[in-house]
A and B are shown apart, each in its own frame.
Chain A
Amino acid sequence: MNPLTGTAFKDIYLNMGSSGANRYVSYYTNQLYTTKYKVYLMSLNDKVVSPQADGTYGTDSTLNHTVRIFNRQADTLALRFENSVNVTANTYTEFYLGEFTNDEYNWLLSYPASSPSGVAYTLNPATRYIRVAAPATATGRPFNLTMNYLKFEPVF
């Protein structure tokens, strides 16, 4: 429960310890139009007692997350955005990553592009591939990744 908003979190936590250098979790979206967006990362870096009785996981260490956004071009990925943030422990607010300008939306909206939940299942020229990655080195810190959501706020 977020103590600031009183709302529940639903997220993913990749517990990788010391062996997750450069590892990542990836997403697709077809919902970004051609405009400038402010990008925010909501990550909950905390310790949790697992209900599966496999003990407490998580850390008090700061975790480093790098967010990369790619265009798909003929089955290759072209990097369009890259920025890193330090996800400090027990921070219940969004981390600002910077501005991303989406340069092209070259696909008819009437084509099915995503499920009702917003998860993209049709890959096309409008698709953006997103990775949230652990750093290459993290002296004394785990390579864990945690993500509640990425937010793209249009700049008008």
Chain B
Amino acid sequence: MRPYFNGANADTANSNASWVTVKDFAIRGLYTEAHLPAVLESKFGVKIAMNRSSIVSVKKLSNGIAYIMNASGISVQEKIPVVYIEGESPYSFSVPSSATVFYRNE
């Protein structure tokens, strides 16, 4: 993830890369091995492929289950998503006084 957060401050770039890597590893809910879905979704909307062959070990914790895996199951496309700037949410505009601005639903 480091190349996606380049900047003048190396500490900031490293911190961002670390955060983006780990932020999707905690999933709400309890998923036992017997009922493990093929794909889990993090609270940030990132999809994680839970390939059973990638599970190295399973640890029971006081507040959930930790799956130790040898592959993350998260594609870079999930981490670095397509960005949309919505036209109907402008910061400002420069228009002549005669202009009419329409926010349309159609």
Q: How far is the CB of A4 from chain B (nearest CB, A)?
A: 14
Q: Which of the four size classes fits the interface of chain B?
A: 35 or more
| Neighbour of B3 across the interface among A11, A12, A34, A108, CB < 8 A | A34
**How far, in angstroms, from A9 to B105 measured CA to CA in the complex?**
6
For the residues of B in contact with A, the DSSP-based class is mixed
Q: Is the CB of B12 within 8 A of A12?
A: no
| Neighbour of B87 across the interface among A12, A35, A106, A154, CB < 8 A | A12
B residues 52-106 touching A (CB-CB < 8 Å):
76-77, 80-96, 98-106
Contacts of A107 in B (CB 8 A): 7, 12
| Neighbour of A117 across the interface among B13, B83, B89, CB < 8 A | B89
Binds A, one of B15-23, B24-32, B33-41: B15-23
Q: How far is the CB of B18 from chain A (nearest CB, A)?
A: 10
- Does chain B have a CB within 8 A of A50? yes
Contacts of B6 in A (CB 8 A): 34, 103-105
**How far, in angstroms, from A26 to B90 measured CA to CA in the complex?**
6
Q: Is the CB of A106 within 8 A of B102?
A: no
- Does chain B have a CB within 8 A of A1? yes
- Does chain B have a CB within 8 A of A24? yes
Count of A-B contacts judged by CB separation below 8 Å? 165
One digit per residue, 1 when the CB lies within 8 angstroms of any chain B CB and 0 when it does not, for chain A 78-114 equals 0000000000000000000000000111111110000
**How far, in angstroms, from A102 to B90 measured CA to CA in the complex?**
21
- Does chain B have a CB within 8 A of A23? yes
Q: Is the CB of B4 within 8 A of A33?
A: yes
**How far, in angstroms, from A103 to B8 measured CA to CA in the complex?**
10
**How far, in angstroms, from A42 to B84 measured CA to CA in the complex?**
10
- Does chain B have a CB within 8 A of A48? yes
- Does chain B have a CB within 8 A of A122? no
- Does chain B have a CB within 8 A of A62? no
Known interface pairs A27-B89, A108-B12. Does A9 touch B106 (Cβ–Cβ under 8 Å)?
Answer: yes
Contact surface of A with B, Cβ cutoff 8 Å: 1, 8-17, 19-20, 23-29, 31-35, 37, 42-44, 48, 50, 54, 57, 103-110, 117-120, 125-126, 129-130, 132, 146-154, 156
9 sample A-B contacts, Cβ–Cβ < 8 Å, listed by A number: A10-B88, A12-B103, A32-B83, A57-B102, A105-B13, A108-B16, A110-B19, A118-B85, A130-B85
